[in-house]
Structure 1
Amino acid sequence: MNNRVDLSAFDAAWRVRWPDSRPIGHELRSTAHKTWVRFHSLPESKRYAENNAEHREILTRHLTVLNDLSSSAGTPIDNLRVITLAWSGSAEPTQRDSELVSATSPAEYWQILPYDLSDPDYPYWVHLYVGRTSVGTDELRSLLRLVADDRTSEVIFAPATATWLYHPYDGGGDVIAPDLATRDALKRRYAEWLSPHPLGPVTS
């Protein structure tokens, strides 16, 4: 499969579908909250895995939700977009962390966004990359493991049409469903995984 991404098409799809949302994972629950739901990745809202069984449970939950989202929206699971990023104190394009690069397929530099420019001596910028992946691949598993172990953050999965979004974090996953019916169906199917707090862990 050709791993190159049509950035112009994906950029256009994002702007049409999510005009009020920046592609920064933790912001989505606020900017796209109408169809948002959060699931925790371990029983009793435990944040980090301590053994192989718990790592398998985290992976199972992420993959289950991703498969269900794809199926519900009629989007292919073998042609997903994955957004990753690099933080920087400069507006010049910056490479991602080597560990993140090794866990993903080649990615295209998408855009730069200001994150915090309140202190002119210590500005923060976000450099966004878009690659391709498939549910169930080793690279996707590796990326989810990095997220679960808090070794990378702000990852977003989406179909090429940006119909839905999935932001895994160290402790769970934020779903931005394509519509209310899909969101509510997911909440019913995976009720035991729901965050007990309306905003989930405050540190996510």
Structure 2
Amino acid sequence: MTKEEFKTFWTLTYPDTIPISYLFKKDYSERWFRIHSLPDSKRYAESENEWKILLERQNQIITDIFGENEKILLVTGEYNWDENATFNADEEAVFKPYDFILLDNIDLFDFKSEDYNKGDFYKPAFAETIWNSNQHDRLLKEIANDNLRAFFISINKSIIVAPYDGGIDFVFKNIQTKDFYKKQYENWLSERVDGL
């Protein structure tokens, strides 16, 4: 996939947002839900057993939704206050297996002037890869430890899978698919009314 093809795909599939995962729950709330990675909504793993539970949960639900050997995109990026700075995936060793393609800078002030200042930019990048269970565990652990941000997209199924430090956010193609998986994994949902 080229940079231009990604831009076309994103514009057609997710026109109401930009590729920054914390925005998805608000911009696609009707197609969004969240699971927690640990029992009792514990945020961070503190033992080998908790890491085992976290990775088992995350791999189980992502594999259930994507399937094995699914072609996916890995999307990441970084905030930068210098428009001319470049995204450097090599700074994160966990990104070494992925071949990133840089996307155009996003002017955050133009996107949401009430939240950002002039000169605030986001530098996104994406890589094509394959989803197989446990293949991306190192990346999932880094995200779970809040060391970096990244999310996955199945182009074929129009599903976003956005792990974070505490769980995973999902944005599905439609409400029916969301409701199906939400019911399947109801034991992993938050007890909060807002689903967070």
Instruction: Tell me, in whole angstroms, the C-alpha distance in 2 between the residues paired with 1:100 and 1:15.
Output: 30
Question: Conserved in 2, the CA contact under 8 Å of 1:103 and 1:139?
Answer: no
Question: Conserved in 1, the CA contact under 8 Å of 2:59 and 2:133?
Answer: no
Which of 22, 25, 29 is the equivalent residue of 1:26? 22
Compared with structure 1, are the counterparts of its residues 100 and 199 closer, same or farther at alpha carbon in structure 2 (3 Å cutoff)?
farther
What number of residue pairs does the alignment pair up? 190
- Are positions 1:15 and 2:11 aligned together? yes
Instruction: Tell me, in whole angstroms, the C-alpha distance in 2 between the residues paired with 1:38 and 1:151.
Output: 20
State the 1:162 CA deviation: 6.8
Q: Over residues 30-70 of structure 1, what are the superposed CA-to-partner deviations in whole Å (9 max), with x where a residue is unaligned? A: 01111100100000000000011211221122222222222
Identity of aligned residues (%): 24
**SS of corresponding position for 1:105:** coil
- For residue 190 of structure 1, what is the aligned residue in structure 2? 185
Compared with structure 1, are the counterparts of its residues 134 and 13 closer, same or farther at alpha carbon in structure 2 (3 Å cutoff)?
same
Report the RMSD for the aligned CA atoms in angstroms. Answer: 2.2
How high is the TM-score relative to the length of structure 2? 0.86
**SS of corresponding position for 2:104:** strand
Task: Name the aligned partner's letter for residue 88 of structure 2.
Answer: R
Map 1:89-100 → 2, pairs under 5 A: 89-96=81-88, 98-99=91-92
Unaligned stretches of 5+ residues in structure 1: none
- Are positions 1:111 and 2:104 aligned together? yes
State the 1:198 CA deviation: 3.8
- Are positions 1:143 and 2:139 aligned together? yes
- For residue 177 of structure 1, what is the aligned residue in structure 2? 172
Unaligned stretches of 5+ residues in structure 2: none
